[in-house]
Amino acid sequence: MRVSPPLLGSIGGLLSLGIIGCQSDIVATSEGVEGSALTADNGLSGINGLSGINGLSVTNGLSVTNGLSVTNGLSNTTGLITSADGRNTISYLAKCALPSGHSFTKIYNGVTYTFNGSLGLGPGWETGACDVTCQERVSACMMALVNTTGVHVPLWLTSPIPQIGWGQNASYPDLEGAFFGNIFTTSGGQVPAFYCEGPGQLGLVPGRIGASQPGSPYRDPWGTDGRCGDVGHCSITGAPTTGGKPDGYSSCYGYSNVITVWRNSAYTPVFDAKLKYMLTNVRSGKRMDWDDAVTNSTAVQQWTASTNNNQQWQFVSESGGTYHIVSVKATSQCLELPVGKTAAGTNVQMAPCTGATNQSWTVKTTDGITATAYGQYFKFVNAASPTTGFLETPGASTVDGTRLDIAAFAPTTSQVWSISVAP
């Protein structure tokens, strides 16, 4: 079976999924209306309409009793279809539920949106009902593809679900965890949306597994740090092995539609060009901010968090895996080092975007740092100064207005950053 990116790999006659690329999720056929908002499978920044006490199907115009392509299955006038975030959720529902090559359309305010399938875990929902098996499979898929930061990381999925199947991939050696439950229902006043952690060889990835992640839609039924492999938790019965290691979990917490996720601690994060991001310094808790208190200021500083667009940034991809970091306040302005200035202690600044090397930034994970304080964050290094060009708050300052500069990586918490999606 050939599957177009970002779904790669066929193992044992059944499809296993390495989710690593980008593709369009939503096609809007009206001039001037946004197209896709999320362009890679593991970048779902939130499941719009899902709360801890309300299942997805009881709010936002969605029903599991009628086909997605008919009015009573998904409303054309209320709920998910009415917002960009809601349409993002629909795009992932379609991606998880319908097979590749299948799609459905919805019309809202005169705009026709097309939502494309990929995995086919609940194909009957296209025109009929999504039964409990369908709901659990789509739920596990949706949860497995969440990244609340909107940053995409490469994943490999295995499952007893036939459309995914078993089989490990040497490029994804580490078991991150497993996802299971039913996000379309409520039970005991809560949505049964669950995850469990792998054996602990991996640090948490920002926005990925863990109920402590901001906006996390799931919880561990066995409490903090509950491991899938602990006695009495998940079963590997029926799961084949590769190199003496089980390919994943066949059931967890009474659910047999489980998706196990594997990844590699060394990965290159991918940003969505259509999302707006906020960068927060781990040491100070302050946001990266373009000083707008002074007319024509080029200063980049840290400042207490706000919803202002001078604290919002877009990442524009370049060849070679680097990015221009562009201000949402003025999209012609990019974060840079002054031309020819590469020494530690040089202040970064804003300037008109030129495409030059001094405006190119590589974003790296901090998984390789042993101190747990750094393991969930990112570091930014300027391409013109790969040794001394790491973005930081100097002197571990926590003061509003402190100018950001560069330095060699120590590491310290003033040199690492958390990333979140702007509202």
Domain at 402, CATH number: 2.80.10.50
Alpha carbon distance 150, 310 (integer Å): 19
More confident residue, 223 or 415: 415
- Rounded CA-CA distance 208/195 in Å is 11
Report the pLDDT value the prediction gives residue 58, as an integer from 0 to 100: 58
- 49 and 139 part of one domain: yes
Task: Decide if pLDDT at 401 tops 60.
Answer: yes
What percentage of the chain has pLDDT greater than the value 70?
Answer: 83
- Determine contact, residues 199/205, Cβ cutoff 8 Å: no
Q: Quick one: CA dihedral 228, 232, 234, 238, positive or negative? A: positive
pLDDT beyond 50 at 4: no
- Is 270 part of any domain? no
Give the span between the Cα atoms of 367 and 266, in whole angstroms.
7
Compare 205 and 401 and report the one with higher pLDDT.
401
Question: Distance between CA 50 and CA 29 in Å, rounded?
Answer: 28
Task: Examine the domain organization and report whether 250 and 280 are in the same domain.
Answer: no
Classify the phi-psi angles of 18: left when phi > 0, otherwise alpha if psi is within -120 to 50, otherwise beta: beta
From 163, 169, 236, select the one nearest 198 (Cα to Cα). Answer: 236
Q: Is residue 2 part of a domain?
A: no
Q: How confident is the model at residue 59 (pLDDT cuts 50, 70, 90)?
A: low
Report yes or no: 329 and 309 within 8 Å, Cβ to Cβ.
yes
DSSP state of 255: B
Q: How many percent of the chain have pLDDT more than 90? A: 55
Residues 347 and 297 in one domain: yes
Q: Which residue is associated with the tokens 């096609």?
A: 27
Of 313 and 46, more confident: 313
Tokens of 249: 């979990």
H-helix or E-strand containing 87? helix 84-97
Q: What pLDDT was estimated at residue 366?
A: 73
Q: Are residues 311 and 227 in the same domain?
A: no
Number of domains in the chain: 2
CA distances from 276 to 240, 271, 295, 298, 345 (A): 42, 10, 24, 20, 28
**Do 256 and 324 fall into the same domain?**
no
What are the Cα distances from residue 321, in Å, to 127, 138, 164, 271? Answer: 41, 32, 29, 10
Structural domain for 31, as ranges: 7-263
Domain assignment present for 268:
no
> Is 316 found in the same domain as 175?
no
| pLDDT at 76 (0 to 100) | 86
Q: Which of 263, 292, 307 is the last residue of a domain?
A: 263
Counting Cβ atoms within 10 Å, is residue 10 exposed (0-12), middle (13-18) or buried (19+)? Answer: middle
> Which of these three, 263, 292, 322, is where a domain ends?
263
**Closest Cα partner for 336 from 378, 400, 290?**
290
Q: Is residue 121 part of a domain?
A: yes
Residue 22 has pLDDT above 60, yes or no: no
User: Which pLDDT score, from 0 to 100, does residue 16 have?
Assistant: 33
Residues 46 and 113 in one domain: yes
Residue bearing the bigger pLDDT, 163 or 366 = 163
pLDDT for 311 beyond 70? yes
Cis peptide before 162, with omega less than 30 degrees from 0? no
Shared domain for 416 and 286, answered yes or no, is yes
In the prediction, which pLDDT does 359 show? 98
pLDDT the model gives residue 377: 80
Task: Say whether both 313 and 245 belong to one domain.
Answer: no
- Per-residue pLDDT band for 217 (boundaries 50, 70, 90) equals confident
Residues 343 and 210 both lie in one domain: no
In a domain, 269, yes or no: no
With respect to residue 30, please indicate whether it lies within any of the assigned structural domains: yes
Instruction: Considering only residues 271 and 15, tell me which one the structure prediction assigns the higher pLDDT.
Output: 271
Average pLDDT over residues 127-131: 93
Q: Are 259 and 348 in the same domain?
A: no
Q: Would 335 be classed as within a structural domain?
A: yes
Q: How far apart are CA 94 and CA 89, in angstroms?
A: 9
Asked if residue 17 belongs to a domain, the reply is yes
Same domain, 256 and 334: no
Domain boundary residue, one of 209, 231, 263:
263
Give residue 204's pLDDT band: very low, low, confident or very high (50, 70, 90).
low
Residue 31, pLDDT > 80, answer no
Residues 74-125: tens digit of each pLDDT: 888 888 999 888 898 899 999 999 999 999 999 999 999 999 999 999 999 9
Predicted confidence at residue 255, as pLDDT, reads: 98
Q: Which pLDDT tens digit goes with each residue over 331-343?
A: 999 999 999 999 9
